[in-house]
Amino acid sequence: MTPDSSPTDQGAARPLRYVAIGDSLTEGVGDDPWPDGTPRGWADRLAEILAHHHGAIDYANLAVRGYRTAQIRDTQLDAALAMEPDVVTFTAGMNDLLRPRFDREALLQALVDIVAPCTERGARVLVVPIPDIRSVLPVSRVFESRRRELNGMYRYLAEHHGMLEPTVTTGSVFEDRRAWADDRLHLSALGHERLAVGAAHLLGVPNDTDWLTPPDGPAPPHTLRGHVTWARTFAGPWIGRRLRGRSSGDGRVAKQVELHRLTA
């Protein structure tokens, strides 16, 4: 299934509209890319599943890596709402957790500002919770309390603003190192694939995949060489950007800013 480059036919009965917003996870970082090098990712995979199930959908992906929640609200929400979506998925909050200053009240308000207008317009809204990745990225222990707080905010959004209930990820594939890319901050192709299937399940698309269970066998162990390679290749550049006040999203634009038709 590939996107049709022609404009959506407004004269025909309108198919389901799915708009993805968020950060690098929704952009698709860590997944196997499309042939042109564009990140694929779980949202693109979910769009394919929905198109297969419904016959056709209209899909846009406004996510940009490195964006914090307030940036997602300020730069992506209005465009998403203008598309009159039936389904909105988003990833937001991880980049807030990783900053030295963690403003809980501002983060919760930004999340409410994103979710409430979507659900008030009748869209089904799905967020990706933050799993416990201490076995994947040991330094994440520093942010563990923040992670739990953020997931608590997601539950609040489900209880008070009509968002779909976030999935519990404890003991799931998303705590397994094989579901994570070499940078240990983004999902691998396996993780993106499982997340897409899980999101489809939450949206009522039937499937027989046991998407939460880790693969058979033990995950590969961490090694000293692996830690050193990770620190040199990923942690060092990330710290350097923080010290310079830069973001991986600087100068980037969303990969699919208009609705495109996907067919089964």
Give 105-136 as a DSSP string. HHHHHHHHHHHHHHHHTT-EEEE------TTT
- Summarised one tens digit per residue, pLDDT across range 125-162 is 999 999 998 887 777 888 899 999 999 999 999 999 99
Angstrom distance (rounded) from CA 238 to CA 42: 23
Angstrom distance (rounded) from CA 93 to CA 99: 10
More confident residue, 9 or 148: 148
Domain membership of residue 85 (yes or no) is yes
Angstrom distance (rounded) from CA 138 to CA 154: 24
- Summarised one tens digit per residue, pLDDT across range 44-67 is 999 999 999 999 999 999 999 999
Angstrom distance (rounded) from CA 183 to CA 197: 23
238 pLDDT exceeds 90? Answer: no
Coil, strand, or helix at residue 235?
Answer: helix
- Going by pLDDT thresholds of 50, 70 and 90, the confidence category of residue 4 is very low
Domain membership of residue 10 (yes or no) is no
* pLDDT score recorded for residue 118: 98
Domain membership of residue 42 (yes or no) is yes
Coil, strand, or helix at residue 257?
Answer: strand
- Going by pLDDT thresholds of 50, 70 and 90, the confidence category of residue 198 is very high
* Residues contacting 172, CB < 8 A, separation 6+: 131, 212, 213, 214
Residues 220-225 have a mean pLDDT of 72
More confident residue, 189 or 12: 189
Largest CA distance in the chain: 60
* pLDDT score recorded for residue 123: 98
212 pLDDT exceeds 70? Answer: yes
Nearest 5°: phi and psi at 198? -65, -40
Angstrom distance (rounded) from CA 142 to CA 187: 20
Question: DSSP H helical segments within 86-235, as ranges?
Answer: 94-97, 104-120, 144-161, 189-202, 224-230
Domain membership of residue 169 (yes or no) is yes
Nearest to 171 by CA among 219, 126, 230, 207: 219
* Residues contacting 52, CB < 8 A, separation 6+: 1, 264
Nearest to 90 by CA among 137, 121, 123: 123
Residues 185-214 have a mean pLDDT of 93
- Summarised one tens digit per residue, pLDDT across range 98-115 is 888 899 999 999 999 999
Domain membership of residue 5 (yes or no) is no
Beta bridge mates, 180: 187
Coil, strand, or helix at residue 198?
Answer: helix
Do 32 and 74 meet the contact criterion of CB atoms below 8 Å apart?
no
Domain membership of residue 229 (yes or no) is no
Residues 22-47 have a mean pLDDT of 96
* pLDDT score recorded for residue 221: 76
Beta bridge mates, 17: 58
Domain membership of residue 97 (yes or no) is yes
* pLDDT score recorded for residue 55: 96
Domain interval for residue 181: 16-221+253-263
Angstrom distance (rounded) from CA 38 to CA 67: 18
Domain membership of residue 238 (yes or no) is no
* Residues contacting 1, CB < 8 A, separation 6+: 48, 51, 52, 262, 263, 264
* pLDDT score recorded for residue 139: 72
* pLDDT score recorded for residue 225: 72
* pLDDT score recorded for residue 78: 98
Residues 242-258 have a mean pLDDT of 73
Q: Using CA atoms in the order 117, 120, 123, 129, what is the torsion angle rounded to 10 degrees? A: 60
CATH of the domain at 84: 3.40.50.1110
pTM here?
Answer: 0.87
Overall number of domains in the chain: 1
- In the chain, % of residues over pLDDT 70: 85
